Amino acid sequence: MPERFVPAEFKNTIDTVLTEVLAEEAEQLCAIDGALQPVAEQLQAVAGHGKRLRAAFCYWGWRAAGQPDSGPLTRAAASMELVHAAAVVHDDLIDDSPLRHGLPTAHVALRAAVTGRPGARAAARSLAMLVGDHLMALAGQLFATSGLPAAYLARARPMWAELARELIAGECLEILHTGAHPDPDVSLKVVRYKTAKYTVEQPLLIGGLLAGATARLRAGLSAYGLPLGEAFQLRDDLLGLFGETGRTGKASLDDIRGQRPTALLATAWQAASPAQREHLAGVLGRRDLTEEHLRDVRELMVTLKAPERVEAMIASRVRDAVSCLDALDMPHPARGALTDLAHVATDRHH
């Protein structure tokens, strides 16, 4: 890996690791029974997308502690992407989302495997749930068999447990608060636990722990990682409603139809007059939403300056994150890479 961070090159490296791991796993599944072919295909498909940001944060957490480029570390970092793939499958199931990366989500794609049988929709959802569960198990397996010394892996094991606990907590909080009146504090807590921590902070800390990072460096990585992870999800909220499906690969009305506790919705609700809240409430949670509803909600959000306010929240968090790097003792390539990653993660257009 070159000293200068080149996102496309890093992505190719991680993609190669994941392709090999998942192809081998798919082969072993199909060797049990040929009927498992659709499941094996989804296992590979859902992990086949993304910028590999989580792996990059893990890698540069390792490098920030002064460790050199390492093949085994790269494999350990790739496991972060399997955690993400598992979370995506489960998230799409919970939200009943039809699209991801412009393709049918796992629970939609797997309907073809059970067409014509009673309860086909429920059966496809059950298969997708098991795909997600297996991806999480594979993440742990790839991490444990990465080739890093056992003593290194032991240092990071408690953070793995924390990552799994807090990711599940975030998903549960979103479910528990879906349909409730939008609340900015609740929304930001969901953002933090559902996405921010496992996207940036925890991969960074896992990389740092593997490398034997000092407590001071780990605290600095957290101070950088948490606001940046929140900024990442805030950008995702904006793209979820204002992005075009052709570019984002997701259905734009999902968050409104599901009445999810996003920060964008909470910000709009907070700024709205009673009449505007009544108008919003009449749209939230409806299953029959149209493009006209989408235009209407977007116009109201803009009138309330909700996108503008969320953009300010993103910019503030990115500034806070990057400023934390100045005080940390780390090699120049790691400082440069983490500065670049702050912008790669939050300047997304799709």
Confidence check: pLDDT of 127 > 90: yes
Which DSSP category does 304 fall into? T
pLDDT at 1: 46
Question: Which residues are CB-contacts of 135 (< 8 A; sequence separation ≥ 6)?
Answer: 43, 46, 47, 82, 83, 85, 86, 89
- Under CATH, domain 7-346 is a member of which superfamily? Farnesyl Diphosphate Synthase (1.10.600.10)
pLDDT at 4: 76
CA distances in angstroms from 307 to 26, 231, 312, 338, listed in the order given: 42, 13, 9, 26
Confidence check: pLDDT of 217 > 90: yes
Strands (E), the chain: 99-100, 103-104
pTM: 0.94
pLDDT at 95: 86
- The three-state secondary structure class of 145 is coil
99: phi then psi, degrees, rounded to nearest 5: -130, 150
Q: Which of 43, 155, 161, 200 is nearest to 109 (CA)?
A: 43
- Which residue type does 151 have? A
- Listed range (30-39, 54-63, 97-106, 210-219) with the worst mean pLDDT: 97-106
Residue for token pair 């793939």: 85
Helix axes 150-177, 184-191, angle to 10 degrees: 150
Per-residue confidence band for 250, with pLDDT thresholds at 50, 70 and 90: low
The pLDDT of 169-174, averaged and rounded, is 95
Q: Which of 35, 195, 41 is nearest to 104 (CA)?
A: 41
The number of residues in the chain equals 350
Q: Which pLDDT tens digit goes with each residue over 92-115?
A: 999 888 888 889 999 999 999 999
Confidence check: pLDDT of 293 > 70: yes
- Listed range (252-266, 297-311, 316-330) with the worst mean pLDDT: 252-266
The pLDDT of 120-125, averaged and rounded, is 96
Q: Work out the burial of residue 267: count CB atoms within 10 Å of its CB; fewer than 13 is exposed, 13-18 middle, 19 or more buried.
A: buried
Please count the other Cβ atoms lying within 10 Å of the Cβ belonging to residue 122: 11
Q: Which pLDDT tens digit goes with each residue over 272-284?
A: 999 999 988 888 8
- Three-state SS across 272-284? CCHHHHHHHHCCC
Confidence check: pLDDT of 47 > 80: yes
More confident residue, 252 or 342: 342
Is 226 within 8 Å of 202 (Cβ atoms)? no
Per-residue confidence band for 179, with pLDDT thresholds at 50, 70 and 90: confident
| Two structure tokens written together for 8 | 């496309």
Q: Determine if residue 183 is left, alpha or beta; phi over 0 gives left, psi from -120 to 50 gives alpha, anything else beta.
A: beta
Question: Which residues are CB-contacts of 340 (< 8 A; sequence separation ≥ 6)?
Answer: 5, 7
Per-residue confidence band for 124, with pLDDT thresholds at 50, 70 and 90: very high
Domain regions of the chain by residue span = 7-346
Is 173 within 8 Å of 189 (Cβ atoms)? yes
Per-residue confidence band for 256, with pLDDT thresholds at 50, 70 and 90: confident
pLDDT at 285: 79
Confidence check: pLDDT of 2 > 60: no
Q: Which of 74, 5, 57 is nearest to 225 (CA)?
A: 57
Is 263 within 8 Å of 237 (Cβ atoms)? yes
The pLDDT of 188-215, averaged and rounded, is 96
The pLDDT of 63-91, averaged and rounded, is 97
Confidence check: pLDDT of 178 > 90: no
The pLDDT of 306-328, averaged and rounded, is 96
